[in-house]
Amino acid sequence: MALLDELGIRTAHLARNSMTRSSIRCTVVENVFATMRDGSGRVVDLDQVKAPTLVAWGDKDRLLPMDRHANRFRTEIPSVRFEVMRGLGHTPMWDDPGRIAELIAEFASAASASANGQAASVTGAGSGTGSTAG
């Protein structure tokens, strides 16, 4: 479990064990890691995304470190809201589910208000996390 701690995962011991066991049984995991190793997994057409988009990336993510993987998401998705989640790892929804739920709720509320032509009220769920728009 030391590896999970190193990756920035801040979940309880039992939750980490459950997550680890479920990923071992998952048939997709090896395919994902294979495409990461050989570089065959490519994300294309990010500039064609038309929906409001929130990307929340843990600054402790060592599987997909921001400095190597995030730039295209920040720069190619039109009007993206990119949130750096301080202290969180590869699975921020496990690391701090309340914080992520609050961020998603605030983003969805603002996107809905914007779509309805209303001024969006920002509650500050992501305040201090280093948000940037593309």
The C-alpha atoms of residue 73 and residue 77 are separated, in whole angstroms, by 6
Closest to 134 (Cα-Cα) out of 85, 84, 79? 79
The C-alpha atoms of residue 31 and residue 54 are separated, in whole angstroms, by 26
**pLDDT value for 55:** 97
CA 31 distance to own-chain centroid: 20
The C-alpha atoms of residue 14 and residue 1 are separated, in whole angstroms, by 11
**pLDDT value for 9:** 55
Q: Give the long-range contacts of residues 117-125, CB within 8 A, separation 24 or more.
A: 125/99
**pLDDT value for 86:** 95
H-run or E-run covering 82: strand 81-85
Give me the tens of pLDDT residue by residue for the chain, a chain 134 residues long.
455 555 555 666 666 677 677 777 777 777 877 887 787 777 889 999 999 999 999 999 988 899 998 999 999 999 999 999 999 998 899 889 999 999 999 999 999 998 887 655 444 444 444 555 44
Q: Are 14 and 4 in contact (CB under 8 A)?
A: no
**pLDDT value for 124:** 46
